[in-house]
C-alpha cells in the first residue's frame, strides 16, 4: 500500500493498490491497447500498429507526475494519456503513432478505465461479504439459545436471543450483497462512443469495433454509448451506500454492546488493535469505528454522485469529471467497512453470562408486558396496565424484584401465586417467535411479485 497517511483510515491495502496512480494509469492503457487490437481485428488499423501500441502501453514507463499535471490542464486524463502514449509509440514505430486512440474520445478512456477498476474491485468486496455472512450465521447458530435484553429507544425491553440479533445482521448483509451483485453486473459496461456518441469516425465498422473491444476487455457490450447516461454507475454507488449503512448498523450495535457498563460482546484485540495511547485498560471497538466512519462518509459521496448525474447533452461539463474521485472513495470506503466487519465478526467474543446478568439487573421489569397480557384477560387490559405501572414504580424505588411486589397485590395474587410470578420472569419462556424468525432470516425464500390483474 502506498504511504498515504491522510487516507489510511479510508481504504484497505488491496483497494488502495487498485486505485493507485499506476493501477489507474494501467487501466487506461489497457483500454488503448485493447482498442488498437480490436481495430486491427476488424481491419480499421494495421496489425503492426496494434502491436506497437500494446508494447508501449506499460504504466511503469510513464511519468505519472507529469501526466497528473497535464490532466489538470486538459480537464480530462484521456487527452494527456493519448499524447503521452502517442509519443511513446512514435519512438518504437513512427507509422503506428498516428493510430493511437483511433476514433475514441477522452471520456471513452476515462469511463472504461473506471469500469475496469470496478471489475477488479467486485471480487474483493464479494469475497469479504461471503466471509462476513458466514461469520454472522455462525454467531447466530452458536447463540440461538443465548438470551439477552432487547433494547428499544436504548432502554431495556423484553428478551431476545443473540442468535436472532446476529441473524438480522446476516440477513441485511445478504440482501445488500444481492443488490450489489446486481448493480455490478449492470454497471460493467464498455464505453466507446467517439466524439458525439455515434462512432462516426469509424464509419460502418464502429459497432464491430465496439463489440470486439468489449470482448477483449471482458465487459458488457451496451446498447449504445452512455456518456451522459449515468444511472448504471449511480445504482452501483447507491448499492454501496445501502450496504455501508447496513454495516454501520451492525457496528453501532456491537460498539454499544461493548461499553463497559454493558460488556456483552468484545471485538478481537491484540497486535496494536483496540488500544489507547494513554489508557492501558481500554479495549476500543476499532473495527466498528472504521465501519462507522465509512458509514458517515459514504452517504455524502453517494449524494455527490447523484447530483453529478445532471449532465448536458452529449458530454457533461463537470459532471463526469467529478465522478472519478467520488467513485474511488465510495468503493474504498465500502471495502474498508466490509473488511473491518469481517475481522469483528470472525473474532467476536460473546459474554452470555453477562447478557443474563443484565436481564436479571432489571429486577423483572422487562416482563411487565407479559404480566399485563396475562392479567388483561381477567382484569381488563387497562386495569392490568395501571396496576403494573404502580408495581413498577414501587419495584424501582424499593429496589425489589417485580415478582415480589406483585405477589403482595391482592388483585394479582388472586390470579397468580408467587411461584407462577417467578416463572413469568424466565427469559426463555418469553421469546415468542424469535427462533422462527431467526431461521427465516437465515434461509430467505426468493420473493416473487405478482402483478395485479387489470
Catalytic residue numbers?
276, 315
- Adjacent-strand bridge partners of 160: 148
Rounded-to-integer distance, Cα 166 and Cα 344, Å: 13
Contact (CB, 8 A) for 120 and 164: no
Q: Torsions phi, psi of 412, nearest 5?
A: -90, -40
Q: Is the dihedral of CA 267, 269, 272, 278 positive or negative?
A: positive
C-alpha cell at 391: 408495581
Rounded-to-integer distance, Cα 131 and Cα 343, Å: 9
* Residue in this structure with the C-alpha cell 502506498, named with its chain if needed: 2
C-alpha cell at 410: 391482592
Q: Is the dihedral of CA 400, 404, 410, 411 positive or negative?
A: positive
Provide, for the chain, the percentages of residues in helix, strand and coil under a 3-state DSSP scheme, each rounded to the nearest 5: 65, 5, 30
Using DSSP's 3-state secondary structure scheme, residue 432 falls into coil
Rounded-to-integer distance, Cα 244 and Cα 199, Å: 38
C-alpha cell at 277: 495511547
Amino acid at each position: 500500500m502506498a504511504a498515504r497517511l491522510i487516507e489510511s483510515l479510508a481504504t484497505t491495502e488491496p483497494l488502495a493498490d487498485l486505485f493507485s496512480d499506476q493501477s489507474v494509469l494501467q487501466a487506461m492503457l489497457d483500454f488503448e491497447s485493447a482498442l488498437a487490437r480490436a481495430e486491427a481485428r476488424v481491419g480499421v488499423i494495421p496489425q503492426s500498429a496494434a502491436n506497437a501500441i500494446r508494447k508501449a502501453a506499460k504504466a511503469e514507463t510513464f511519468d505519472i507526475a507529469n501526466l497528473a499535471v497535464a490532466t489538470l490542464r486538459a480537464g480530462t486524463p484521456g487527452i494527456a494519456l493519448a499524447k503521452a502514449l502517442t509519443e511513446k509509440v512514435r519512438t518504437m514505430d513512427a507509422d503506428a503513432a498516428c493510430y493511437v486512440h483511433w476514433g475514441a474520445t477522452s471520456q471513452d478512456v476515462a469511463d472504461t478505465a473506471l469500469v475496469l477498476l470496478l471489475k477488479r474491485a467486485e471480487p474483493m468486496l464479494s469475497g469479504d461479504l461471503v466471509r462476513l455472512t458466514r461469520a454472522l450465521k455462525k454467531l447466530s447458530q452458536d447463540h440461538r439459545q443465548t438470551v439477552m435484553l432487547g433494547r428499544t429507544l436504548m432502554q431495556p425491553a423484553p428478551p431476545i436471543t443473540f442468535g436472532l440479533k446476529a441473524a438480522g445482521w446476516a440477513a441485511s448483509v445478504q440482501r445488500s450483497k444481492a443488490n450489489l451483485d446486481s448493480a455490478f453486473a449492470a454497471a460493467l459496461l464498455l464505453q466507446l462512443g467517439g466524439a458525439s456518441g455515434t462512432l462516426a469516425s469509424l464509419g460502418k465498422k464502429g459497432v464491430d469495433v465496439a463489440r470486439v473491444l468489449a470482448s477483449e476487455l471482458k465487459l458488457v457490450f451496451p446498447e449504445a454509448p452512455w456518456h451522459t447516461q449515468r444511472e448504471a454507475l449511480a445504482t452501483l454507488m447507491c448499492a454501496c451506500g445501502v450496504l455501508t449503512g447496513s454495516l454501520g448498523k451492525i457496528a453501532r450495535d456491537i460498539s454499544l454492546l461493548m461499553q463497559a457498563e454493558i460488556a456483552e460482546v468484545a471485538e478481537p484485540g491484540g497486535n496494536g488493535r483496540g488500544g489507547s495511547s494513554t489508557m492501558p485498560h481500554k479495549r476500543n471497538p476499532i473495527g466498528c469505528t472504521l465501519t462507522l466512519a465509512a458509514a458517515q462518509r459514504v452517504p455524502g459521496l453517494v449524494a455527490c454522485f447523484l447530483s453529478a448525474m445532471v449532465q448536458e447533452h452529449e458530454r457533461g461539463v463537470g459532471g463526469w469529471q467529478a465522478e472519478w474521485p467520488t467513485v474511488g472513495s465510495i468503493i474504498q470506503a465500502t471495502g474498508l467497512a466490509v473488511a473491518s466487519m469481517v475481522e469483528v465478526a470472525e473474532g467476536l467474543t460473546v459474554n452470555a453470562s453477562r447478557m443474563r446478568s443484565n436481564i436479571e439487573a432489571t429486577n423483572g421489569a422487562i416482563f411487565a408486558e407479559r404480566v399485563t397480557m396475562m392479567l388483561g384477560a381477567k382484569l381488563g387490559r387497562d386495569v392490568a396496565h395501571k396496576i403494573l405501572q404502580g408495581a413498577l414504580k414501587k419495584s424501582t424505588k424499593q429496589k425489589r424484584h417485580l415478582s415480589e411486589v406483585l405477589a403482595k397485590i391482592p388483585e394479582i395474587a388472586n390470579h397468580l401465586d408467587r411461584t407462577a410470578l417467578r416463572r413469568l420472569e424466565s427469559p426463555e419462556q418469553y421469546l415468542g417467535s424469535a427462533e422462527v424468525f431467526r431461521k427465516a432470516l437465515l434461509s430467505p425464500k426468493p420473493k416473487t411479485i405478482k402483478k395485479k390483474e387489470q
